[in-house]
Structure formats: C-alpha cells, structure tokens
Structure 1
Amino acid sequence: MLDFSSIRTSEGKLEIVNQLLLPHTTEYIEIKSIDDAFDGIKSMKIRGAPAIASLASLAVADYLARALATSPSPDWLETTDAFKQHLEAILAHLFTARPTAVNLGAATRRLSNKLQTLIDAGKNADTIARELISEAKNIDAEDVGRNKLMSKWGGEWLVERVKTQGGSDTDLNVMTVCNTGSLATSGYGTALGLITYLHETGKLQRAFFTQSTPYHQGSRLTAFELKSLNIPSTMLCDSMVGSLFQHHNIHAIAVGADRVARNGDTANKIGTYNAAVLAARHNIPFIVVAPVSTVDLEVPDGSGIPIEHRPAIEACLVRGALYPTTLNGEGAKEQATVMVTPEGLEGVYNPSFDVTPASLITAIVTEKGVAVKKSGEEVFDLTPIV
C-alpha cells in the first residue's frame, strides 16, 4: 500500500514530497516559509488542486505558529488592523502561485473570511492567530474524508449504470487522466479514489491511464500509486486514447478537476478535453470527480476560467532515471533532464489545462452526491451537490 502522501507534518515540521523526482527518488522538502510554499506550488514540486490548497493552508498555520512563538512578537501582531493587512497580503500572494486551481482560492478566501469574522467579533490578534491556525488545519484534515465519500458516490453510480445497461458489475475498466490520487490530495484521491474504491469492492478489472505529457503525471505518479496499491493497470500515450476506445471495452473515464464552472464546464489537466471528445464518439460515460470547493459558482461557464500557460521550456524537457539504471554513491538511481526538441525552438504552445464543455460530461461527483444533466439539456444544475 502507498504509505505516504504529498504532505506530512511531524515534530513541528511541514514537509512535501518533491513530485518532480518521483517515482525514482523520494525526497521530502521542508517548507520553512510562505515563500517556500509558494515556490513548491509554482514549480509543481507539489501539484493537484486539493493538495496545493492544503499546503497553502498549512503553510499559513505554520507561519502564524512561528510568529506566536517569537519574542518579542512581530509588529503586525500588535493590532488587528496590522494583522489583517499583513495576512491578506500573504493570502493574495499564495493565490497567484497557480490561479486555475479554484481550491487554492477557496482556501485563501476561507481564511480571509474567518479573519474578518474574528475581527468583527472583537477578538485580539493573538486569539485570531490561534483560531486561524485551527481553521487552516481543518482545511487540510477535511480532504481525506470527502475524497472517500465522493469516490463511493461515483463508484456506486457507475456500477448501477453498467448493471442497468445489462453489463457485468464485477469487471469494470476505467480510464483516467493525469494524477488524482493521494499525491494530488491529502489522501485517497478523487478520480483515482473512485478507481481505488472499485478495486477495494471487487468491481474493477483494470485501470487505464494516460502518460499526461508534458509533465508525465500519469506515467510518473499515477503509475507509482497504482503499482503501490496493487491495482491492475495499463499505461497509454495521450495520443492512443482513440485506439484504446476502438479496441477495448472501457466502461467510463474518470477525471479530476481544477475548476468547475456553474454550468458544469470543467478545467482539468491538458488532454482531458481530447479524452472527452473521444469518449462521446464512443458513447463512454465521462465522469468528473472533485470536491465542492472546486465548483466556482462565480464563473458562469468555461470561458471565464483562467488557463495557466507554463514556460515553453517545460514542454521541451523530460526528466527521469538513467536507463540502463545507474546508481550514485548513495545507492539511489541517477536522474537527468534531457531536451527532446531542437534547442531554441520557437512557437511552443504549453497550456497546463483545457476546458471540457458540460455537454461532453455525463456526471459530476462531489462529496455531496452525483449530478447528471436533465433530459435534453446540455448543462448541469449543480445545486444538489454544492
């Protein structure tokens, strides 16, 4: 079984596993400051919408705890006005690390709202800091429970759908995109959690997953998690999805989300839209699994979702272990970054996300249940699950 998550806290330390080095090297990086947290999120040492929201929250908690333990206290802890101005700047800074992922914004807004509520209640700065530390830790702790809930809702919905269409409910094949397991969350996962739930309940035959280039979250991270969990699985290149659908009986596509608009349009890892189009062509259910915090009711549709574009160089490089395997002096696998394009290539298109229209999505699952479109409609009413 996978025995670690993307974030760990012990002995007063906040650490993240450097996902850029997985699956060949497991290296934990200590987060000692807000800037460390920002860099970890921005550089994708940690990724996955729920996980980065947890890290941002825990980094704020750690920062406030350090401030409370400092003598003399920082100037910004002397008055509530100074406290608010200082913390609001920190929260705004963290939000800019990866703006597409709405969970990060939801976490920073939740802390900001809690701050204002405590100020309005007349609490002093020290008390506010302590209560914000508790709130920040709650944001992280709530993730695992809701992941298990949505995985169960989605898994049971899929099993029932297959049964009503005359299929077997004990040999399901489900494909996913990117990485949405323990490494992308605080534990268990969203779309990969659904696959894990089907495996645990004896309903899954095989999981399929795309490499998810250019960062290879699928071939590096999802492969690592599925192997650790002993879940039968098959990797495919992103360009092989259509062929898979032509030649294999795939019962569903399950993906996560970085932001879901009010009408159900969904931003997720680049390549998700391609898979959704092909799934529609082959009449395969396309399921989005994401917590309520991912649904952004302030954005009417996908056209209002900001799409992060990564530096061009990232699409030109690949990092991995040397092959054949070479060990360094400490017995660890040697890794290297190589360029797979001509040097100085111009005109690189490198968005991190694409938007899948609600019309191509069969179901959206949160911890509150499953939403499907009404007959004849192209968009979702997400009210029951938000």
Structure 2
Amino acid sequence: MEANLDLSMTFDSSNATVLHTAASQGHTEVVNFLLEKDSSVAAIASRNGKTALHSAAKNGHLEIVKALLSKEPGIATRIDKKGQTALHMVAKGQNVEVVDELIKSDHCLINMVDSRGNTALHIGTRKGRIQIVQKLLNHSGDHKLVINKFGETALDTAEIYKLSDIAGILRNHGVQCAKFIEPQPTNSARELNKTLSDKRNEVYQQLLRTRQTRKRVRDVAKKLNRMEVDGLNNAINSTTVVAVVIATATFAAIFNIPGHYADSPEDITPFMIFIVSDSVALFISLGVVLVQTSAAVIERQANKQMMAVINKLLCLACVLVSVAFLGLSYIVVREDERWLANVITGIGTAIMVSTLGILCIVLRIQKLASSGGLQPQVDHHTPTDKDILNDEDFEIIDAV
C-alpha cells in the first residue's frame, strides 16, 4: 500500500474491493488502515449492491461497523439489489450489539423494507433469531405493523415457520396478524421518500463510478508524464556523456597531436584547419557540459528548449571534430601518400553529408505532418501509449 495507494481501489470479479474482504472476515486493523488512506472506499458497492457495511454487519463485526459508520455515516441507509440495508443483514446474524449501533446511527433503518416489503423484524423472525427479534422490538417504530408483499406481519411469518417461541415474544410486544390489522391508507410521503432514496443511491453510484474513471485517467496521465520526464532526463544524460567524450578527445588532441609532420613545416594549412576546428569543438562541448551540470531544476518546457539548443550545438561540435580529423589526416601522412588523406576526406564527407541530409528530410516531413501540411491517414482506433509517444518522433530524432 505504501508503494502503490491504488491497490485499495482494485476489484475482484464480483466488483468487491479489498475493504469488502477485510470487513467480511473481521480484519479490524486492515479496515482501519484502508479507511485512513481513503475513507471514500467504504461507499463502494459490489456487483450485488452490498457495501463493506453489509458484510461486516452480517458477520457481526461490531468494531468494523463502528469504524465504517464513523468515516461514512451515510452508508447506513444504503441498500443492495434486494433493497436490504445493513440492518437486514445483521438480522440474519447473531450480534445484537450491531443492531443497536446501526439504529443509533439512523433510527429510520428499523422501518425500512426491502424489495419484498420485509423489515429487519421480518428477516430476524424468519431466520429464528430470538435475541435479534427481542432487540428490534425494544426499539420504537412502525415495524411491528408492517405487512410485506405476501400479506404477512412478523407474527404471520413466525406462525408460518412454526416458531412458537418467537411468536410468543411478538404477541407480548403487541404484534398482530395481518388479518387483524386495518388496511392502512397508502402513505404517499413514505413512497415518495423511498423513491427519492433509491434515485439518490443510483445517482451516488454513478458519481462514484465517474470518480473512479477520472482517477484512472489521472493515473494514466501521470504515467505518461513520468515517461516523458524519464525520456527527457535520459536524453539530457546522454548528451552530457557525448559532450564530455568530445571535450576529452579534443582536449587531448590539441596537446598530443597524433603522428608527426611528414613534410616541410611551411605547409601549415592542414594544421590550422585542425587546430581551429578542434578548439571550437572543445569549447562547444565544455559549454554544453557546463549548462547540463548547472541547470539542476528547471521547468519541463524550458528543459525541452534547452535540449533543442544543446542538440544543435553537439551536432556542430561533431561536424567540427570531423573537419579537425580530416585536417589531421593531411598532417600525419607523407607527401607521396596524400591520396590516402583524399580517400579519407571523400569517405568522411559522404557519410556526414548523407547523414545530415537524411536527418533534415525526416525532420522536414515530420514538421509538415504536425502542422497539417501533409494529411496523414486517418486511424479510427483508440490511441495507445505507444501511439502517443510516436507523435513526438521528430523530437527523438533530433535528440539522436
């Protein structure tokens, strides 16, 4: 988690997060750690609509329920795809303390019904949870009079499943059978509130998914930016190494000229060409090294502009080193072997001119394409990271 905070937002095949698993299995320390990193993860629902609170409540993990409610109190009324809240879940378990904790967070939970019209009291009765039923009956509310979609109160459910002990407890608390309860007029306000609650949950889920998508997009953007910065730093390091190599070679060549004067020293033209070209290449390379070692922290755009200038200076330094080498070739050969220097000059000139010519042509084509002078073939597929990086080939070629 310290290395990658995004691990808390990973999902399994059922769209459950790490928090769902930790809450379900009762790993309190893990739950607290995840909530400290990002409490919003508590509101994420799995594919069946259940949050981590549903899982913790069903398994009776009181401390986890408290931790979740303290970070995200609003999830107490969240419902799953069956319309059940965390209180419905705890009614299937055994921990009565969780019942008190949930009702304390929002008392309306005791009257909320699922998609079949069952309250938590119906669920606890059908599951035969005597202590849960007693705890629910100790709280005031309309749940004692609620009739589900099958026309049953909690007492009807107890009698159908032949749970005589629970039926006796229900009667002692005034719960009646549905046939003895006068039909209640439709509570339009309650229906409206339920509809609004459902819509609010749907909107919340959509906003949550949007937030997750934006986060992933930001992560991709950060990775691309990091790749760009790393590439730029690698280019800077490479140019620094090249500049140092050129400076070292040219410095050594000035004070330790290879070979010797084979002919009369009056013919100093080749030597002048060598010494001037070699000296200029030396000071250009030293200037590049000075800039690279002095510019510790600068903006990315300024860094790119600096690299553009440095690349051109290194190109000039390479050309001057080539000229210095060609001039040196006329110094170290004898008069009767001057043809060898001519061959070297011809080969070197051909290589340098062809290299620079091809480079200029490629750069020109890339700049025309980027400015709209050339219409590239339209590709309708979604661009990948490789495609995005290839859009800056001209910068890579320039660096090379």
TM-score interval for Structure 1 and Structure 2 normalised by the shorter chain: under 0.3
Task: Considering fraction of residues, name the structure with more helix.
Answer: 2
Larger C-alpha radius of gyration, 1 or 2? 2
Q: Given the two structures, how large is their TM-score scaled by the length of structure 2?
A: 0.20
Q: Given the two structures, how large is their TM-score scaled by the length of structure 1?
A: 0.21
**Higher relative contact order (CA closer than 8 Å, sequence separation 6+):** 1
Task: Considering fraction of residues, name the structure with more strand.
Answer: 1
